[in-house]
Amino acid sequence: MRVDELVSKLGLEVKAISKAGGAREVGGGFVGDVLSHVMAKARPQDVWVTVQTHENVVAVAVLLDVACVVVCQRELPPETCARAQSEGVTLLWTELGAFEVAGKLYNLLVHGTKGSDRL
């Protein structure tokens, strides 16, 4: 699944987009708000679902090369959106809770990716 398909199917709002943009492939997902835990466990090409909104989220996303970051229920500061855009991180927003986004993401990836050893 690609990021643009994810945006469409989950009704996400794009706050910043990378050069690869919506064409970036999604390899899995990770839900977490403690940045050190995310750095230890999330993988490249994951969709990272979080409620964190500060600029350090962008730094972690760059470090891990995640496909995108989905921020749930909390407004993103303009500084975080600007940093994401300048660093080439796709930053998405939804009013849905992390639990609901994770469930929908899991269903999309499981039913859309047959034989995946990631899920």
CB proximity list for 15: less than 8 A, separation 6 or greater: 71, 76, 81, 84, 91, 92, 93
Domain that holds residue 28: 3-112
22, with CB counted inside 10 A (0-12, 13-18, 19+), is middle
Nearest to 61 by CA among 77, 78, 46: 46
Q: Which tokens is 26 given?
A: 């999604």
Which CATH number do you get for residue 27?
Answer: 3.40.1390.20
Q: For residue 83, is it within any domain?
A: yes
Q: For residue 117, is it within any domain?
A: no
In angstroms, the CA 116 to CA 119 distance is: 6
Q: For residue 61, is it within any domain?
A: yes
pLDDT one digit per residue (tens) for the chain, 119 residues: 999 999 999 999 999 998 888 899 999 999 999 999 999 999 999 999 999 999 999 999 999 999 999 999 999 999 999 999 999 999 999 999 999 999 999 999 986 544 444 43
pTM of the model: 0.91
Q: For residue 28, is it within any domain?
A: yes
CB 35 within 8 A of CB 52: yes
Q: For residue 118, is it within any domain?
A: no
CB 49 within 8 A of CB 31: yes
Number of domains forming the structure of the chain: 1
